[in-house]
């Protein structure tokens, strides 16, 4: 019975209603309720059949990984996403909770009509939410996906709500770059896992001998290749680059909180989108090609950030 519980056509009985499975979306789907529209809400809990715990979440059309891979988002769309995720994180962080897994496929959307591509944006997959005071956080438990994980979580140092702020920055960076390119993904050609900038001296104050040994080794190497340093206005608009650098400080104590981000001027500025078209197309109205500027690469070429 358990193996067939969530197959198409199965009928589930919850506290509030009955539900018929029409499509399997994710075998490991789990989420949490929230008071704000920026968090994907829990609709019901399944009570029958009772041999496998299940919940019902609000349906949304797609996720940002899927949508951004289809077509790069415009700057206004990216800022709309950023406002929604910032608000979701603010709600969690206000209560001392850490999401731990901010990434594009955990940000869900309802499509708009006409020129409005994204009607609603909600942060989901709250199954890994924990208190910043929990043993998981204090002991540096491994969290999230490798290339969205904060430096402190990667080094298995104690982490706080600041780890979500870093991952928020990686999500925005992926949206800005477009083309399915994720800067910290070691699988990308020409980028190795040790290509981050050297860690700041402030990391020594974490007083973790193993971490100090690792960081001393990294900092003793030749000047590392820094892919983000290769990003010019054609890849990331200057205002966006400044904002990403602000939220992705290597030392978590230097990152702004979600409360501090409420008043950040980036959310209201409307500077020009300087990004050049992606190889093979996918540019947005208002991007560089609209102004007659040539884009880096040609159809079928790798993302320009790969080779700088």
Check residue 290 and give its pLDDT. Answer: 44
Query: How many Cα atoms sit within 13 Å of 278 on the Cβ side?
Result: 24
Name the fold adopted by 62-275.
Transferase(Phosphotransferase); domain 1 (1.10.510)
Geometric angle at alpha carbon 22, from 16 and 23, rounded to 5° = 115
* CA 110 – CA 18 distance, rounded (Å): 24
pLDDT value at residue 36: 56
Outline which parts of the chain fall under CATH 1.10.510.10. Answer: 62-275
Residues of the chain below pLDDT 50: 1-5, 24-35, 189-197, 282-283, 285-301, 306-308
Q: What local confidence, expressed as pLDDT, does residue 193 receive? A: 44
Peptide bond into 238 cis (omega under 30): no
CA–CA dist 119, 117 (Å, integer): 6
Which CA distances in Å does 99 have to 109, 129, 166, 280?
Answer: 18, 4, 12, 35
Residue whose entry in the numeric block shows the structure tokens 């850490």: 98
pLDDT, residue 306, reads: 46
Helix (H, G, I), strand (E, B) or coil at 108: strand
**Residue 181: other Cβ atoms inside 10 A:** 20
**DSSP assigned state of 32:** -
pLDDT of residue 118: 87
Q: What per-residue confidence (pLDDT) applies to 220?
A: 61
Q: Return the H-helix or E-strand segment holding 306.
A: helix 304-307
Query: From the CB of residue 279, how many other CB atoms can be counted at a distance below 10 Å?
Result: 17
What confidence score (pLDDT) does residue 19 get?
A: 55
The pLDDT assigned to 42 comes to 77
């Amino acid at each position: 019975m358990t193996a067939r519980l969530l197959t198409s056509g199965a009928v589930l009985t919850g506290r509030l209603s009955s539900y018929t499975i029409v499509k399997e979306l994710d075998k490991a789907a789990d989420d949490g309720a929230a008071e704000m529209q920026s968090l994907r809400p829990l609709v019901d809990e399944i009570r029958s059949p009772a041999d496998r715990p299940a919940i019902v979440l609000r349906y949304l059309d797609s996720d940002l990984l899927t949508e951004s891979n289809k077509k790069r988002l415009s700057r206004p769309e990216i800022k709309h996403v950023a406002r929604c995720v910032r608000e979701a994180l603010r709600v969690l962080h206000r209560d001392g909770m850490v999401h731990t897994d901010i990434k594009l496929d955990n940000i869900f959307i309802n499509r708009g009509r006409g020129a409005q591509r994204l009607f609603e944006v909600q942060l989901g997959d709250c199954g890994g939410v924990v208190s910043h005071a929990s043993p998981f956080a204090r002991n540096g438990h491994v969290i999230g996906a490798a290339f969205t994980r904060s430096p402190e979580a990667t080094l298995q140092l104690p982490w706080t709500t600041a780890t979500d702020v870093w991952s928020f920055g990686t999500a925005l960076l992926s949206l800005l770059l477009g083309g399915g390119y994720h800067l910290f993904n070691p699988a990308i050609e020409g980028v190795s896992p040790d290509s981050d900038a050297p860690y700041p001296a402030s990391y020594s104050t974490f007083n973790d001998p193993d971490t100090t040994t690792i960081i001393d080794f990294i900092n003793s190497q030749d000047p590392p290749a820094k892919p983000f340093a290769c990003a010019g206005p054609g890849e990331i608009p200057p205002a966006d680059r400044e904002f990403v650098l602000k939220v992705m400080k290597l030392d978590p104590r230097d990152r702004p909180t979600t409360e501090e981000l409420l008043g950040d001027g980036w959310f209201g500025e409307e500077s020009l989108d300087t990004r050049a078209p992606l190889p093979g197309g996918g540019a947005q109205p208002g991007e560089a090609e609209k102004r007659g500027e040539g884009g880096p690469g040609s159809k079928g070429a790798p993302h320009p950030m790969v080779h700088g």
